Structures are given as C-alpha cells and as structure tokens.
Structure 1
Amino acid sequence: MKSEIFLLFFQLKYQDYQQDNEGQNCIQKINNIFDDFNYQMKQENVQRL
C-alpha cells in the first residue's frame, strides 16, 4: 500500500516539476520528493502510536 501511495505521490510531484521551469535541477527535485515522502510516512507512523 505504501509503495502505491509513493508512486502516485511521485507521479504528481514529477508532473508539477515538468510544468515548473524554474530553479533546481532534476536530481535535487527527486531528492526533495523522497524527503517529503519519508516525512509523510513518519508522520503517519507517529499518528498511529
């Protein structure tokens, strides 16, 4: 389930970045996506406790 959520999250973020011609390079943007996803998963785990 989490992997499906991640893939959807990644796709949506990637689409946003394709439309955004500013700033960061692709690798930095992908790293940010992973950081955002990890943060969200940690938040969900904390809320369950």
Structure 2
Amino acid sequence: MAEFIKTLPQNIEAEKAVLGSILLDDQAINGALEEVSINDFMIKIIRKFFLQC
C-alpha cells in the first residue's frame, strides 16, 4: 500500500508577489499585514524579510 504524505498548500509565486509589492511600495506592507501572517510564508528568506518589515 502506498503512503501519502500531506503537505501544506503553498504558492511560491504569491509569496514572491507579496515581497515584490512591498519592495516597490513601502505602504504595501500595511495591506499585507492585514491579509497574511508570518506563518503564511513557506520560503524562509521571504519569511525573514516579512518579519523585519
């Protein structure tokens, strides 16, 4: 019998888009903070960047 491993849903392109919007517009962090949290990021470097904002 094959074992199935459940993984958390993730969207790397969405993470990059959030990061990009913050880099392009410093006010974008306000909107991002209303919609996402640090735990929504799977890529560690983007998580660290978001934490510093």
TM-score bracket for this pair, using the shorter chain length: 0.3 to 0.5
User: Which structure: larger Rg?
Assistant: 2
Give TM-score, length-normalised by structure 1: 0.34
Higher RCO by CA contacts (8 Å cutoff, separation 6 or greater) = 1
